[in-house]
Amino acid sequence: MSAPSAWRRPRFRVRTRCRSSVTGRLVAAASPSVVTETGVTDFDEEALGAAYERGLKAEKSDDVEAAAEAYRECLRLDPADHVGATIRLAGLGLVEPPASVGHAYVSTLFDQHAETFDDILVRQLHYRVPEMVGAVLRRDGRRYANVLDLGCGTGLTGAEIEDLVDHLTGVDLSEEMVRVSDERAVYDRLFVAEAVDFLRRHEPGTVFDLIVATDVVPYLGALEPFLSGLYDRLEGGGRAIFSTETMSDEALAGRPYAVGRDQRFHHGESYLRNALLAQGFDVDHFEEIVVRLQEGKPAPGHLVMVSKPV
């Protein structure tokens, strides 16, 4: 998904531990820094909304200077950047790409869209990556004992691979997405956390024989921390499968990755392959795919499966 067309007031609440009233399964926050519903913010929401709207209007009119001024005003009002002003500036080529799209922005964006996410992504944008993941995993009939679904969202991928796994853990930065995925009743455990932070810090002794990450990489810039985290949390012989988005070599112009006008990271194939090999992975599957539609056009990407040597 791309950015919301308008700023909506975020809902904030610190989530520690609770149980779903529907399923009774544990839903936990992996880090106390993950917050989402007090109704209290430390910035002027009306001013932020007005600046954001000015930026969107200017960007649509190709008035880059006015858009930049408005987005920089957003950052002055809200340094945490709930509206994604930094990634928009990067998409306009005005700042260097950040390390990621931004935690506050991602959690706000997906909290706002959780209820309509499946309809938007699957029906309107023809997103089929979970089915692609399931098809690749089923080719050799392997079953997995302990699986981690990073960026689990509303549980689309979890539902697709549920019959292949014995124990399934889901992680997402958006609390509202986790709530929806809990209602899907396919996960044994669910956590509210950022993907790379979860790999680095949460239950460091726990390893998995499969890690899935659909629609996570487009929110990350340099992939080395993510790939390192995958490698460390896989058991020997374990697999990771994930999707990326990319753009033409001409558009990348020699860069390993770039931020598109859709406010997502697009990674070059050669950069991705080299990073996987440098991390020590064996590449088992590398396929060009259409991730979804973006403004009515196919959004190109890759579906990648790697394994950690025994």
pLDDT digits over 232-284, tens only? 999 999 999 999 999 999 999 999 999 998 899 999 999 999 999 999 999 99
Summarize pLDDT for 72-87 with one digit per residue, the tens.
999 999 999 999 999 9
Question: Given this model, what pLDDT does residue 41 score?
Answer: 60
This prediction's pTM: 0.86
d(CA 201, CA 212): 18
Say what the pLDDT of residue 238 is.
98
Q: Report the alpha-carbon distance of residue 206 to residue 233 in Å, rounded.
A: 7
pLDDT given for residue 38 in this prediction = 34
- Listed as ranges, residues in the chain with pLDDT below 70 are 1-41
The one-letter amino acid code at 109 reads: L
DSSP the chain: ----SS-------B--EEE-TTT--EEEESSTT-B--SS--SS-HHHHHHHHHHHHHHHHTT-HHHHHHHHHHHHHH-TT-TT-HHHHHHHTTSS---SBS-HHHHHHHHHHHGGGHHIIIIIIT---HHHHHHHHHGGG---EEEEEEET-TTSHHHHHHGGGEEEEEEEES-HHHHHHHHHHT--SEEEE--HHHHHHHSSTT--EEEEEETT-GGGBSS-HHHHHHHHHHEEEEEEEEEEEE---HHHHTT-SEEE-TTSSEEE-HHHHHHHHHHHT-EEEEEEEEEEEEETTEEEEEEEEEEE---
> In the CATH scheme, what is the homologous superfamily, with its name and number, of domain 118-307?
Vaccinia Virus protein VP39 (3.40.50.150)
What local confidence, expressed as pLDDT, does residue 7 receive? 37
